[in-house]
Amino acid sequence: MLADDVKDRIQNTYRQLLNSKGLTPRYGQRQMIAEIAKTLAVLSTSDEIGPPICVVEAGTGTGKTLAYLLAVLPLAQELGYKVVVSTATVALQEQVILKDIPEIIEGSDLEFSFALAKGRARYLCLSKLDMLLAGSDSLHAMMDLYGEELDNPNIGDISLCEDMVTELSAGNWQGDRDDWKTPISEENWRPLTVDRHQCTGSTCSNFHNCCFYKARNSLDKVDCIVSNHDMVLTDLVMGGGAILPEPGKCIYIFDEAHHLSFKSNNHFSSHTRIKSSLSWLEHCEKFLLLLAKEGILHSEQQALLQNIVNSIRDYSETVWIQLEQTIESSEELDKHESKYQYTFELGVLPEEIKDVSTNLSIEYTRLVNNLKDISDELRKILDQDVETKKVTLVEQMYPILGINTERAESNLQLWSSYARKDPIGSVPTARWLTFIENEVNADVSLFSSPVLAAENLKERLWGSCGGAVLTSATLSALGEFEMLRLRTGLPEQTNYLSIPSPFDFGGSANFVVPRMNCEPADTKKHTDYIVEAIPKMLTQKPAALILFSSRTQMNDVMRGLPSEWLDLILCQDDYQKIQLLTYHRQRIDRGEGSIIFGLASFAEGVDLPGKYCTHVLIAKIPFAVPTNPIDMTLSAWIEKQGQNAFLTLSVPDAAFRLVQASGRLLRSETDRGRITLFDERIINKRYGKAILNSMPPYRLEIFQE
C-alpha cells in the first residue's frame, strides 16, 4: 500500500505541472503513474516476494517520461533508493536531462537532485596528461612496442594539453570531454583517457584529483541518475556498484526497454581473431622482455610467461588449420563478397576444435592470472615510497599492461565459451566464425553469444535490484508480452500494462497495401513494382521515409528511379543519421521535396513530426535476417523443443518491427498521412492477418487501384 504522504506528493506534483503548462490530465498518463506507484509500493513492506518490476507499454503521446519520474521519485526519496533512468539512445538521454527533469523542477514543488552518469572514457586521465606533456621517450618506445601508432609523440596538439592544464587549475573544467569548450577529435582524446584495465585506481598519484572518481562519487549524493543501458550493463558485469550505486539500492527505469535484451547479449558475448591475436602475442612478448629488462619481472616469471605464450601460439596455429578445414568441407557457408560465415548448429563444436579450445582456455587463464600478478606488483611499487624515477616508469607501464590484460581476458572469455558444453535442456550459446580473405591477408574471427539475455538478466539484474520499471512505446508483439518475457527472463511477480496511444489512428492515417501480384521472394518483380510505384504514390514535393529490409534492394530501387527523383533522395549510406535528418528538415523548410531511404535503424528513433513526414513506405514485412547466427541458433533450439520457430519467433518479432516502422508517421496528435506496405502477405497469409490485427487501428486501403 502506498503511503498517504507519498501518494499526496505524487498527486500534488502532477496537478502543479499540469497547471504550470496549462494542460489537461491525460488518462493514459495517470494510468501509468498509478500502475508504477502501486507496483513499487511493496518496497515499503517486508513481505515482498522479490524486487517489484513493472512493465508499461505506453503508446506515443502518453507522456511516459513525466509519468515514470513522478511515480518513482517521491517513493524512492521516502525509502532511500536511488533512481537510475536508463535510455538506449543519446537523444532520449539528452531529452531527459536537458528538458524533462528541468521542467518538473521548474513547474512543481518536487525537489530532487540529478546527474548524468558517464563512462570512464569520457573523462581525462591526469596521469596520461602528465606523461604526454613530459614527452617521455620511454613511454613512446613502449607504445611503439605494443603497436600503437604515434605519428606525433605530442599527439599533434601540445597546446591543447597545456590549455587543459590551465582550465583545470582555474577550476573552469572538470575533465569531462563533453564540457570542453570545443569538440575534441578522437585522435587527440584517446591518448588522454584510460579504461578500467589501465587505471591504477587508489594507487595513482593523481587519485585524489581524478576527474572520473570525482564524478563517480558525486553520483552517491544525488537522487536521480540518468544513464544508458550500456553503462548499466557494464556496471552489472563488473558486479554492480563499480560505476553506479549498488543495484540493491537502486530503482531502475529502463526507457526504450525493447533494446535491453539485445544490448545485454552484446555485453555477455565474446570475440577473437586468430591471426590478429598471434600478432598481438608478439608485441606482448616484447613488452614482457621490457619488464624483465627494467627488473620488474624476475627470470622465473619471464620463463613461465614465455612458455605460456609459446603454448598459446602452438594451439592457435593448430585451431587455425582445423577451422580452415571446417570452412573448406562445409556446404552451409554464407558468403558475402570476400567474407564467409559459418554457424555451428546449436552451438555445438566438433570435438577436435573443442579440445584445442579447452587447451587455449587453460593457457589464457594462466596468462591472465600472471598478468594480474604483475599488475599487483606494480601497484605495490606505486603504494610504496620509492624513488620518483621508478614510480614514473611504473605509471607509464601500467596502462600498457592493462591493455595486454584486457586482450588476454577477451581471448579467455571466447575460448572458455568454446570449451564449455551447454547444460542439457538449456538454451544453447550461439557460436560462429567468419573467414575474411583479401589480397593482403586472411583471418578467422570467432564469436560466441547468448541467444537469450534471460539468464544473465535474471542473475545480475532482476534478482539484485531494488525495483525496476520497463517502458517503451512498443514492448508487446501480437498483443502479448510473451516475446519480452522470453528474451529478458522477467520474473513471475512482474506486472504488465499496455496503454494505447491517445492518437486517432483511423482519422489520421491510411494503411495502404497495393495489389502487386507478387511476393518479396520474387526480388526482381517486387523491386520493379516499388520503382514504378514511388513516382505515382508521392507528390512532386514529397516528405517521405522509405524503409527497406535489404541494402541490396534499397540500392536497386535507387538505381531504377528516374534521375529527377534521385535528386530528392537522402540515403542513409551517404550521411550520418543526425546529419541526414537535418538535411531532410532543411529541404522541407525550404519548400523542397525530400525522401529518406533507410534500413532498420531508421524504423525507430526517427522523429519527423508534421510536415517533415507525411508518407512512410515500407518495402516488406520486416522479418529478421535469416543468416543471423544468434537467431539461427535460437530457431534451431525452438524447433528441437517441438515448436514452430517461424510462428514462435519470426512472426511476433516481425509484427513488433512493423508497428515500430509504421509509428514513424504519427508523432503528434495533429499529424496526418499515409503508410504504404509493399507486401501482400499481410493479407494473403494467415500469419500476415495476425500481424495486421496487431497494428494500430489505421484506416485500411487494401488492394485498391
CB 121, CB 196: distance < 8 Å: no
Cell of 446: 570467432
Res. 151: pLDDT tops 60 = no
In the three-class reduction of DSSP (H, G, I as helix; E, B as strand; rest coil), residue 456 is classed as helix
Instruction: Give the H or E element holding residue 269.
Output: none
Q: Which grid cell sits at 59?
A: 503508446
Q: Is the pLDDT of residue 232 over 90?
A: yes
Mean pLDDT of 683-687: 96
Residue carrying C-alpha cell 537469450: 452
- What's the grid cell of residue 443? 583471418
Beginning with the edge strand found earlier in the chain, give each strand of the sheet holding 82-87 in spatial order. 114-116, 224-228, 82-87, 250-255, 467-472, 53-58, 495-499
pLDDT surpassing 60 at residue 36: yes
Strands (E), 514-593: 543-547, 569-571
**Grid coordinates representing 436?**
575474411
Distance between CA atoms of residues 334 and 332, nearest Å: 7
Class of domain 505-702: alpha beta
Q: Do domains 4-113+222-264+453-499 and 505-702 have the same CATH topology?
A: yes
Q: Is 382 helix (H, G, I), strand (E, B) or coil?
A: helix
Among candidates 5, 55, 6, 189, which has minimal Cα distance to 498?
Answer: 55
pLDDT at 514: 96
Q: Which fold does the domain 4-113+222-264+453-499 belong to in CATH?
A: Rossmann fold (3.40.50)
| Residues 172-209: tens digit of each pLDDT | 999 999 899 999 988 889 888 888 888 888 878 788 89
Residues in the chain: 705
What is the rounded distance in angstroms from the CA atom of residue 634 to the CA atom of residue 136?
A: 52
d(CA 606, CA 511): 19
Q: How far apart are CA 248 and CA 467, in angstroms?
A: 8
What torsion do the CA atoms of 159, 163, 164, 169 make, to the nearest 10 degrees?
140
For 108, the 3-state DSSP assignment is coil
Across residues 3-15, what is the average pLDDT?
90
- Model confidence pLDDT, tens digit, residues 127-139: 888 878 876 554 5
Residue 372 burial (C-beta neighbours within 10 Å; 0-12, 13-18, 19+): middle
pLDDT digit string, tens, across residues 279-315: 999 999 999 998 888 888 888 999 999 999 999 999 9
Are 42 and 48 within 8 A, CB to CB?
yes
Query: pLDDT-derived band of residue 623, with 50, 70 and 90 as boundaries?
Result: very high
- Average per-residue pLDDT in the chain? 90
Q: Based on the number of CB atoms within 10 Å of its own CB, is 517 exposed (0-12), middle (13-18) or buried (19 or more)?
A: exposed
Nearest residue to 614 via CA among 545, 661, 565:
545
Taking only the tens place, the pLDDT of each residue in 260-281 is 999 999 999 999 999 999 999 9
Per-domain residue ranges of the chain: 4-113+222-264+453-499, 120-205, 270-450, 505-702
Q: Is 347 left (phi over 0), alpha (psi -120 to 50) or beta?
A: left
For residues 15-44, average pLDDT: 92
Q: DSSP secondary structure string, 27-52?
A: HHHHHHHHHHHHHHGGGGSS--SS--
Tell me the three cell numbers of residue 98. Answer: 536537458
Mean pLDDT score, 110-139: 83
